[in-house]
Amino acid sequence: SDEFEVETDIITLTRFILSTQQKVAADATGELTLLLNSLQFAFKFIANNIRKAELVNLIGLAGASNSTGDAQKKLDVIGDEIFINAMKASGNVKVLVSEEQEDLIVFDGPGNYAVVCDPIDGSSNIDAGVSVGTIFGIYKLLPGSKGSIKDVLRPGTEMVAAGYTMYGASAHLMLTTGQGVNGFTLDSSLGEFILTHPNLKIDGDKQIYSVNEGNTTYWSEPVQKFFADLKKPQENGKPYSARYIGSMVADVHRTLLYGGLFAYPADSKSKNGKLRILYECFPMAFLLEQAGGKAVTDAGERVLDLIPKAIHDRSGIWLGSEKEINKFLKAIGKDA
C-alpha cells in the first residue's frame, strides 16, 4: 500500500517466466520454465557461496584452517558442482557443457534440453572482490536426439534462451528467451530475483571502449589503429573513456547498461581469441542483439552464425551498441 511506500506487487522471476511462458514458442510444454527455475536455484546457491568465500579466504590467509584441516575447495570447483547438480536434478536437462569439464556430460534420465555454461567466469578476479558471474545458454535437443555432442555444436541462432548472473553487490540476472532482454536483481532477504530492468535496450550514445590494452602489441594493425583512433577527439570533441574490469560478465553488464563497446579480439598470442564460443560468446551475443546491439567476430561476421567444431572452441568477439559495432565494421572495411 502507498501509505508505507512498500511495493506490494513485485514481479519475481518465477512470476515473470510463468506469465511469458505461453509466448515462448520453444516452451509449449512448460519444460523450459522448469529448467529456468532450476537455473535460478543454482544462481542463488552460487551467489551465497561467493558471499561466504571472501570471508573464508580471508580467514585462510590469516593462517587458520577449517575444522577438519581440509583445504577449502576453490570457488570455480564449487560453482561447477552446484551447477551440474542443479541441472541433473532439474529432470529437463540431458546434455551439459561446462567450462570446467573437458567433455560434455550426458545425464541419465529424461530431458529435452542442452545447457552450456561457464559456472564462474572471471574467477581470477575473485580474491580481489571483483564481480564474477555465471554465463549460460540453452538449446532444445535436435529432433529424435537422446543427447549428444551434435546438440551443442550448433549456431548460436538456435539457442532458445541465454543470459548471465553477475555476482556483485547484489546478484543480477540478465535473461533472454528471444523476446528482448529482461534484468532481475536478487533480493537476498526474499530469496527471489525481482524484475528490475524490463525490456532492456542498450544505450547507443556512450563513448566507452572495453578491451585488454595490455595486448596491444599482439593486435593486428587494423585493431591497433581502431583503438588508437578512439583516443583522439571524436565528433563531440572528446575521446572515448576506457573501462576494463577483466570479468566478461561485468564488462558486458556495464556495456548493456551504459553502452559502448567490449572486445576480446584474436591476436598473435591467442590466435583464435580467448573467449569460448559456446558458453561465453553465444550467450552474450544473443543478449546484445536482443537489447538492440550487435556482436561480431574479428572478420565482422555475426557471432551467432558461428558453428563451433568442438565444445571449447574460441573466437574473437566485438559487442556493443549498433553504432559502436558499425564503427568497427567500417574500420575493417565491412559494410554494416
Binding site for Mg ion (CB under 5 A): 118, 121
Say whether residue 145 binds ligand AHM (CB under 6 A).
no
Say whether residue 118 binds ligand AHM (CB under 6 A).
yes
Give the span between the Cα atoms of 278 and 37, in whole angstroms. 22
Name residues contacting ligand AHM, limited to 309-328 (CB under 6 A).
none
Beta strands in the chain (DSSP E): 93-98, 105-106, 113-121, 132-140, 161-167, 171-176, 181-187, 192-197, 208-210, 241-242, 261-264, 293-296, 317-321
Considering the complex, state which of residue 269 and residue 334 has its C-beta at the smaller distance from Mg ion. 269
Q: Which does 90 bind (CB under 5 to 8 A by kind): Mg ion, ligand AHM, none?
A: none
Considering the complex, state which of residue 16 and residue 226 has its C-beta at the smaller distance from ligand AHM. 226
Give the span between the Cα atoms of 271 and 335, in whole angstroms. 24
Judged by CB under 6 A, which of 274, 294, 314, 323 binds ligand AHM? 274
C-alpha cell at 78: 564449487
Nearest-approach distance from CB 73 to ligand AHM, in angstroms:
17
Say whether residue 248 binds ligand AHM (CB under 6 A).
yes
Q: Which does 326 bind (CB under 5 to 8 A by kind): Mg ion, ligand AHM, none?
A: none
DSSP notation for 178-229:
SS-EEEEEEETTTTEEEEEETT----S---EEE--GGGGGGS-HHHHHHHHH
Tell me the CB-side half-sphere exposure of residue 80, using CA atoms within 13 A.
16
Give the span between the Cα atoms of 188 and 193, in whole angstroms. 8
Q: Which does 246 bind (CB under 5 to 8 A by kind): Mg ion, ligand AHM, none?
A: ligand AHM
Considering the complex, state which of residue 171 and residue 195 has its C-beta at the smaller distance from ligand AHM. 171
Say whether residue 121 binds ligand AHM (CB under 6 A).
yes
Give the span between the Cα atoms of 194 and 184, in whole angstroms. 5
Contact assessment for residue 259 and residue 291, using Cβ atoms and an 8 Å cutoff: no
Say whether residue 246 binds ligand AHM (CB under 6 A).
yes
Long-range Cβ contacts of 141-149 (<8 Å, 24+ apart): 141/94, 141/95, 141/111, 141/112, 141/113, 141/114, 145/94, 146/94, 147/94, 147/95, 147/106, 147/107, 147/111, 147/114, 148/95, 148/106, 149/104, 149/311
Judged by CB under 6 A, which of 98, 182, 247, 321 binds ligand AHM? 247
Segment near ligand AHM (CB under 6 A); pick from 79-87, 154-162, 240-248, 285-293: 240-248
Q: Which does 274 bind (CB under 5 to 8 A by kind): Mg ion, ligand AHM, none?
A: ligand AHM
Judged by CB under 6 A, which of 99, 289, 298, 324 binds ligand AHM? 99
Considering the complex, state which of residue 194 and residue 261 has its C-beta at the smaller distance from ligand AHM. 261
Nearest-approach distance from CB 254 to Mg ion, in angstroms:
17
Considering the complex, state which of residue 247 and residue 315 has its C-beta at the smaller distance from ligand AHM. 247
Considering the complex, state which of residue 140 and residue 274 has its C-beta at the smaller distance from ligand AHM. 274
Report the residue closest to Mg ion, judged by CB. Answer: 121
Say whether residue 79 binds ligand AHM (CB under 6 A).
no
Q: Which residues bind ligand AHM (CB under 6 A)?
A: 99, 118, 121-124, 212, 246-248, 264, 274
